[in-house]
Structure 1
Amino acid sequence: MRGVIFKGSREVELLDFDDPVPGPGEAVIAMKASGLCGSDLHFYRNGMAAAIEAMGFKDRIAASADGEIRIIAGHEPCGVIAELGPGVDPKAFKVGDRVIVFHYEGCRHCDHCRTGWSQLCDDGARVHGVMSHGAHADYMKVPVSTLVHLPEEMSFKGGAAVACGTGTAYGALLRLNISARDTLAVYGLGPVGLSVAQLAAAMGVEVIGIDINPDRVARAGDFGVAHAIDAGTHDPVEEIFKLTRGRGVSCAAECAGGEAPRSQAVRSTQTWGRIALVAVGGNVTLDVMKDLIGKQRTLIGSYTFSEVGMKDCARFIADHGVEVDRLFTEEWTLDRAAEAYADFDRQAGGKGVFLF
């Protein structure tokens, strides 16, 4: 089979790998859609080895004889079960089932794993596309325990979105305990931020979207954003207080990364406001008394989602007719992987996906 690897310095390579064979409790998935995620750009730009070492995972990765790490990339998998290993309950999964893959594997025994939060595993999680072969390939072998049925109402690329970016958005909304009584500011209108807006709007929430990219601001209304602010030309905190009659929003989700939007997300909320930090990396500087304690604000770190949350997200999308496929502006085949990631690296458009 074919598989894409990151070589670093913005270089990818399409290689041949042995077809996977499922062991006990495992499944081989024929990929139908594999999304490109913003976190993949760390590996694309810096190389797999350097990024893995920075994440503290070096001791869990087996390099090739020449010292190079050849892990197939991609952690937004969606496809069809092509083969099952021994011991899989046929009432749970069968060949031909449409499935989304939860992209973490844990020990399966600690409390985090047993409640569906295997990325928090006490023994350390394995991440597909980083520490185990991922979804930018014709086939992918995974434990059946990582599979969730894809609702018939959803496309494969919609399922790929739920496997990471859109699922992460749903997880952040759950962490905020959001409802139709709330107003929400979404900082960063990339694929995750637009997913936050789209899902929140489907929940009846009034959404304010903020970005420094005029094209993303212009597109935001198509995803349920009631008020879009160009932070490149306007102070978003001032604009939000104008829109909310001087009160501020009740909730904010920071999906942009960077110190400025994080502090703005906090300061744009009202007293008792709730803020979810979703974007990975970077720092934030706050006046603890003025920005947090004195306003009784709650600052939440939201790290992706649980396996159960992924299933609930897919069901919510199917039941509410959320048009998650609109996130995708580019569709690619594996043989155009270099072109796909060069395009995605510019961070100017929407979401890209490999289709099979």
Structure 2
Amino acid sequence: MKGIVFPGQRSLELAEFPDPSPGPGEVVIRMMASGMCGSDLHQYRSESPPQCIAGHEPAGIVQEVGAGVNPRLARVGDRVTVHHYGGCTVCDQCRSGWYQLCREGTVRYGADAHGSHAPYMTVPAVTLVRLPESMSYETGAALGCGTGTAWGALRRLGDLAGSDLLVSGQGPVGLSATMIASTLGARVIAVDVQDGRLQMARDLGAAEVINPREVPVEAAVRDVTGGIGVSHVLETSGVPHAATDVLACLATWGRACFVGLGGRPFEVDVTALLRTQATIMTSWTLSISDLIRCVDFADRHDLPVGRLFTDRWQLDQADAAYASFDQQRSGKGVFLF
């Protein structure tokens, strides 16, 4: 089979790999959809990315089951997405569903081991989450990371019903947060420098949109909230000045969560925040338990996750797919098989 590998510096190859077979406790998934995530771009742009099959938003059908797999975890023909981390499965973090926090070391599929940008993928059966029959494979792929990351961060922020939530950055994660939070009853204020993405945010439930190129973010937020500021902030862009802007928008007792992977640090003025009783936190994707809840929520509320996808590609279009995604001017891309 052929799989996408990033040699480095915005280049990629369709390299040849043997068709996989499952070891004990593993399954082989026949890929139906493999989402393109913003964190894939960090590897695509890197000078020395990992040399394995890229992609970590898989959704597909269980093709083959290895020895010792409990049928309650996986059967041939199951429709699944994947919690794309491997851990020891026995430490306290793994047993609570946080394989990415494994105390013995974490395997990230698509970075430390072969990922989903190929026709087949091998993963431990314990990482699988079944998809409802009514759910598309595209949606299942997005829930596995991009939309799931938004879900995990919103869970960290707490009860959002009736609150004002500022979502900074309206890429796939930010748009997912806008969609989910508005469904949960929050008034979402969406921030982005791309008008097209702001329109998508409105379409997905944002009550207000702000373009920082046109108006200062803090002034606009204070105007919308009667001078109080927002009770909750989710920063997804990873841009340092955006992080500074959103912290200035917090109301007293406000809570801010950061998920953006910009790779550049920013300073927090503790003195300015001291008397606000602010809570600042981070969120790294979500646990497998929360992925199960996220899939169920998306299904029960018929979330329009598919509207995040603006580009659909075949594997042999990989060069064009990543060149387009690298511009970060549209929504989400996905490889279909």
Q: How does 1:1-80 map onto structure 2 within 5 Å? A: 1-47=1-47, 50-51=48-49, 69=51, 71-80=52-61
Give the residue type in structure 1 aligned to 2:179.
Answer: Q
Q: Give, in whole Å, the separation in 1 of the partners of 2:169 and 2:147.
A: 14
Select the residue among 110, 116, 129 that pairs with 1:135.
116
1:298 and 2:279 correspond: yes
The correspondence of residues 108-147 of structure 1 with structure 2, limited to 5 A, is 108-147=89-128
Contact 1:186 1:252 (8 Å CA) reproduced: yes
Q: Which residue of 1 aligns with 2:221?
A: 240
2:303 match: 322
- Structure 1 residue 218, shift from structure 2 partner: 2.4
Query: How much has 1:183 moved relative to structure 2?
Result: 0.9
1:213·1:232 contact (CA, 8 Å) conserved in 2? no
Aligned partner letter, 1:72: I
TM normalised by structure 2 equals 0.98
Deviation at 1:210, TM superposition (A): 0.4
Distance 1:316 1:121, change over 3 A: same
Deviation at 1:51, TM superposition (A): 4.2
Q: Is the 8 Å Cα contact of residues 332 and 354 (structure 1) preserved in structure 2?
A: yes
Q: Which moved more, 1:323-332 or 1:212-221?
A: 212-221
Structure-2 residue corresponding to 1:59? none
The CA deviation at 1:153 is: 2.6
Q: Which runs of 4+ in 1 moved over 3 A?
A: none
| Cross-structure match for 2:320 | 339
Cα distance in structure 2, aligned partners of 1:274 and 1:91: 39
Structure 2 letter corresponding to 1:191:
P
1:229-270: CA deviations, max 9, x gaps?
111111111101100111011100001111111111111110
Counterparts of 1:51 and 1:6 in 2: how far apart (Å)? 6
One-letter amino acid of the counterpart of residue 99, structure 2: S
Residues 136-215 of structure 1: matches in 2 within 5 Å? 136-215=117-196
Q: Secondary structure at the match of 1:228?
A: strand
Inter-partner Cα distance in structure 2 for 1:153 and 1:268: 40
Q: 2:204 maps to what in 1?
A: 223
Aligned partners of 1:185, 1:91: CA distance in 2, in Å?
40
Q: Match of 1:175, SS?
A: helix
Give 1:62's aligned residue.
Answer: none
Paired residue type of 2:327 = R
The residue number in structure 1 matching 2:87 is 106
Indicate if the aligned counterparts of 2:27 and 2:65 stay in contact, CA closer than 8 A: yes
Residue 201 of structure 1 contacts residue 225 of structure 1 at CA under 8 Å; is this kept in 2? Answer: yes
Q: Which runs of 5+ in 1 are unaligned?
A: 53-68
Do structure 1's residue 93 and structure 2's residue 82 form an aligned pair?
no
Partner SS, residue 257 of structure 1:
coil
**What displacement does 1:219 show?**
2.3
> Considering only aligned residues, what root-mean-square deviation do their CA atoms show, in Å?
1.0
One-letter amino acid of the structure 2 residue matched with residue 6 of structure 1? F
Q: Give the residue type in structure 2 aligned to 1:232.
A: R
Aligned length: 336
- 1:250 matched residue in structure 2: 231
